[in-house]
Amino acid sequence: MSAINGQSTNGSTATPKTPRTGGEVVCDAMLAAGVDVIFGMPGGASLPFYDSLYHYQDRIRHVLIRHEQAAGFAANGYARATGKVGVATSTSGPGATNMVTCMANDIMDSVGVVYITGQVARPAIGSDAFQEADVTGISIPITKHSYLVMDVDDLPRVMSEAFHLASTGRPGPVHVDIPKDVFLETTTETAPDQVNLRGYRPSKVGNARMVRKAAEVINAAERPIIMAGHGIDISGAADELLQLATRGSIPVVSTLHGVGTFPETHPLSFGMLGMHGLAYANFSMRQTDCIIGLGTRFDDRAVGKEDEFGPGAKVVHIDIDPAEIGKVLETDVPIVGDLKLTLQKLLPLIESRDRTPWLDQMNGWRRDHPSLKIPDSPDSVLPQEVVRAIYDISGGEARVIADVGQNQMWASQHFWYERPRMFFSAGGLGPMGYALPAAMGVKLADESQDVWCVTGDGGLLINIQEFNTLAAEGINVKVAVLNNAHLGMIRQWQEFFYEGRYMGAFLDNPDFAKVAQAFGLHGVGTSSRDEMHDAIAMAHEYDGPVVLDLHVDRVENVYPMIVPGTGVNSVIEDPR
Partner 1 sequence: MNGTETHTLVATVADHPGVLTRVASLFRRRGFNIASLAVGHSEEPGYSRMTIAVEGSAEEVKQCEKQLYKLVEVVSVRNLTGAPAVTRELAMIKVRVKATERPGLAEITDIFRGEIVDVSKSSMIVQMTGAQSKIDRFLDVITEYPIEEISRTGVIAIARDDVGPRNGRARG
Binding site for partner 1 (CB under 8 A): 136-137, 140-141, 144-145, 148, 165, 197-200, 321-323, 326-327
Nearer to partner 1, 164 or 486 (CB): 164
Angstrom distance (rounded) from CA 102 to CA 98: 8
Q: Write down the least CB distance from residue 140 to partner 1, Å.
A: 5
Angstrom distance (rounded) from CA 532 to CA 539: 10
Phi/psi region, residue 298 (left: phi>0; alpha: psi -120 to 50; beta: rest), is left
CB 538 within 8 A of CB 469: no
CB atoms within 10 A of CB 375: 11
Q: What are phi and psi of 93, to 5 degrees?
A: 50, -115
Q: Write down the least CB distance from residue 201 to partner 1, Å.
A: 10
Nearer to partner 1, 147 or 365 (CB): 147
Among residues 158, 170, 152, which one has the least CA distance to residue 115? 158
Residue 47: burial class (beta carbons within 10 Å; 0-12, 13-18, 19+): middle
Angstrom distance (rounded) from CA 315 to CA 390: 37
Angstrom distance (rounded) from CA 402 to CA 459: 10
Angstrom distance (rounded) from CA 194 to CA 158: 12
Angstrom distance (rounded) from CA 221 to CA 38: 48
Calculate ∠ Cα 488-100-485, nearest 5°. 15
Nearer to partner 1, 124 or 256 (CB): 124
Phi/psi region, residue 246 (left: phi>0; alpha: psi -120 to 50; beta: rest), is alpha
Angstrom distance (rounded) from CA 56 to CA 355: 58
| Beta-carbon-side half-sphere exposure of residue 25 (alpha carbons within 13 Å) | 33
User: 386 vs 380, 401, 535, 548, 575, CA distance in Å?
Assistant: 12, 14, 10, 11, 21
Residues annotated as catalytic are: 68, 130-131, 180, 489
Angstrom distance (rounded) from CA 412 to CA 260: 10
